[in-house]
Structure 1
Amino acid sequence: MTEYHVRPVETEDVPFLWEMLYASLHTQGDDEPLEPGIVHSPELSKYVEGWGRAGDFGYIAVDTLGRKLGSITLRLYDEHNAGYGYVNAATPEMGMAVIEEARGKGLGTLLMQAALDEARQRGTQAVSLSVDPNNAAIRLYRRFGFEEIGMCGTSVTMLCRLHPAL
Structure 2
Amino acid sequence: MTEYQLRPIEEQDIPFLWEMLYASLFKREGEEPFDPEIIHSPGMSKYVEGWGREGDFGFIAVNSQGKRMGSVTLRFFTEQNAGYGYVNAATPEMGMAVIEAARGKGIGTHLIQAALEEARKRGIDAVSLSVDPDNEAIRLYRRFGFVEQSMCDTSVTMVCAMNP
In structure 2, how many angstroms separate the alpha carbons of the residues matched to 1:130 and 1:2?
28
1:53 aligned counterpart, secondary structure: coil
In structure 2, how many angstroms separate the alpha carbons of the residues matched to 1:153 and 1:160?
20
**2:5 paired with 1:5:** yes
In structure 1, how many angstroms separate the alpha carbons of the residues matched to 2:112 and 2:75?
14
Partner of 1:65: 65
Partner of 1:123: 123
Give the alignment's Cα RMSD to 1 decimal: 0.6
Partner of 2:108: 108
Q: Which runs of 5+ in 2 are unaligned?
A: none
User: Is the 1:5–1:110 Cα contact (8 Å) retained in structure 2?
Assistant: no
In structure 1, how many angstroms separate the alpha carbons of the residues matched to 2:70 and 2:32?
23
Partner of 2:92: 92
Partner of 2:141: 141
Q: Deviations over 1:99-126 (max 9, x none)?
A: 1110000000110010000000000000
Partner of 1:161: 161
How far the C-alpha of 1:26 sits from its partner, in A, is 0.3
User: Is the 1:61–1:71 Cα contact (8 Å) retained in structure 2?
Assistant: yes
Moved over 3 A (4+): none
In structure 2, how many angstroms separate the alpha carbons of the residues matched to 1:117 and 1:101?
26
State the one-letter code of the partner of 2:143: R
State the one-letter code of the partner of 1:10: E
In structure 2, how many angstroms separate the alpha carbons of the residues matched to 1:118 and 1:110?
12
Kindly tell me the number of residue pairs found equivalent between the two proteins.
164
Q: Which runs of 5+ in 1 are unaligned?
A: none
Q: Deviations over 1:53-92 (max 9, x none)?
A: 0000000011111110100000000000000000000000
TM-score (normalised: structure 2):
0.99
Partner of 1:27: 27
Q: Deviations over 1:131-153 (max 9, x none)?
A: 00111111110000000001001
Partner of 2:47: 47
How far the C-alpha of 1:44 sits from its partner, in A, is 0.2
Identical columns (%): 70
State the one-letter code of the partner of 1:135: N
User: Is the 1:22–1:39 Cα contact (8 Å) retained in structure 2?
Assistant: yes
In structure 2, how many angstroms separate the alpha carbons of the residues matched to 1:37 and 1:129?
22
